[in-house]
Amino acid sequence: MLSKACIVGAYQKKLEELASEPGIRLTALVPPGWKDDRGEQRLERVFTRGYELRVTPIAFNGRFHFHYYPRLAAELDELQPDLLHIDEEPYNLATRRAMGLAVKRNIPALFFTWQNINRRYPPPFGWWERYNYRHARHVIAGNHDAAAVLRAKGYAGPLSVIPQFGVDPELFSPPERPRLPRPFTIGYAGGLVSAKGLDVLLRACARLSSPWELHLVGAGAEAESLRALAAELDIESHIHWLSKRPSTEMPDFYRSLDALVLPSRTTPHWKEQFGRVLVEAMACETPVVGSDSGEIPHVIADAGLIFPEDDSDALADQLRSLQEDAALREMLGRRGRQRALAHFTQAQIARATAQVYRRMLD
């Protein structure tokens, strides 16, 4: 498997689960780190039993469309795999190069896609995408909209809908003791970027009655403008700005909350593709609130609250209902944990992925 996403320690649990499937010997090729608009994520080594986690150089780190792995040909010649899982989008250079190397060596290959908006790409991206469509032996789509986009754009081959990652229910677990009395505590984790709708969250929180706190974990280009908005709304004293933290420390963050909010907004080029923080919080029995952008309503279903994106009044109403009703918080927390266990564990996702591999090799 070639995957820059698997530099995140918590995600590596899926690799352990995959390696435990009968008949699978797994090598995961990962870069030493990845840069994006939230900063730089360095490789974490957390779940590494039963497979080889091998670091390979990356070229053009941080260039989403143009990065690639210059030693991949040598890695494939050394490993001689029966199958190559390319954990990248089909319109990226990394996928096109990896697919070409696999075709040359007659290695069946698949790619993964989150792309849930039907976008037409100019050359060379459209060329790369069409090449990958022609030569992929299977495709994994991370959500149902992405699967529909693939079909609409002409991909006619085998297709499965499987989220890229789930949760480890032992790591992401409920608090062992009842939460101590405290102000109503709201949380968010992720990029401080416009598409995540944090201005909506700040405006909603400003409508709440004290006592309440908002804990924001992450970094991004909108950090300063969000601080300015908090000052304008006169809510700075309620907000805790927290830096990005290792993935294995996130369960403690979720357990410290009374509600986790994902207020994503759809843009012409993006809508929420999954919302990993939702299932992590749900597994910790933390109630979740999400906008209706993209995949969020399908992830939450009846195990949390949904509001219309960009509607700060509706979000404030939902937060107020959680603030005032401990029984509602407890009920949604239990439902969230049950839904995460039923649909979103790393073991379930690994099992479904292994079934794809077997279909490809058959």
What are the tens digits of pLDDT across the range 67-79? Answer: 999 999 999 999 9
User: Given this model, what pLDDT does residue 178 score?
Assistant: 78
Do 269 and 119 touch, CB atoms closer than 8 A? yes
Q: Are residues 237 and 275 in the same domain?
A: yes
Per-residue confidence at 316, pLDDT binned at 50, 70, 90? Answer: very high
Rounded Cα distance between 305 and 218, Å, is: 23
Ranges of beta strands (E only) in the chain are: 27-30, 33-36, 39-42, 52-55, 84-86, 109-113, 138-141, 159-161, 184-189, 212-217, 239-242, 259-262, 288-291, 305-307
208 domain residue, yes or no: yes
What pLDDT score was predicted for residue 279?
Answer: 97
Q: Is residue 171 part of a domain?
A: no
Q: Which pLDDT score is estimated for 244? A: 87
Does 293 share its domain with 234?
yes
pLDDT the model gives residue 38: 75
The owner of tokens 């995600």 is 11
For residues 326 and 350, membership in a common domain is answered with no
Q: Is residue 175 part of a domain?
A: no
Q: What's residue 179's pLDDT?
A: 76
- How does pLDDT run across 250-298, given as a tens digit for each residue? 999 999 999 999 999 999 999 999 999 999 999 999 999 999 999 999 9
Do 248 and 215 fall within a single domain? yes
Q: Are 338 and 350 part of one and the same domain?
A: no
**Domain assignment of residue 73, yes or no:** yes
The answer as to whether 321 is a domain residue is yes
Residue 150 is part of a domain; what is its CATH number? 3.40.50.2000
Residue 254 maps to a domain: yes
229 and 271, same domain (yes or no):
yes
Give the residue-averaged pLDDT of 227-244: 97
Q: Give the pLDDT band of residue 306 (cuts 50, 70, 90).
A: very high
Residue-wise pLDDT tens digits, 175-230: 987 777 889 999 999 999 999 999 999 999 999 999 999 999 999 999 999 999 99
Same domain, 99 and 226: no
Are 9 and 157 found together in one domain? Answer: yes
Q: What are the pLDDT digits (tens) for 54-66? A: 999 999 999 999 9
Q: Is 321 in the same domain as 349?
A: no
Model pTM score: 0.89
**Amino acid, single-letter form, for residue 269:** H
Domain total of the chain: 2
Whole-angstrom distance, CA of residue 139 vs CA of residue 67:
21
Nearest to 109 by CA among 136, 72, 88: 136
Per-residue pLDDT tens over the stretch 121-147: 999 999 999 999 999 999 999 999 999
Is residue 108 included in any domain, yes or no?
yes
Are 320 and 352 in the same domain? no
Range of the domain at 84: 5-166+345-361
Assigned domain for 286 exists: yes
Say whether both 197 and 219 belong to one domain.
Answer: yes
Say yes or no: 110 and 146 in one domain.
yes
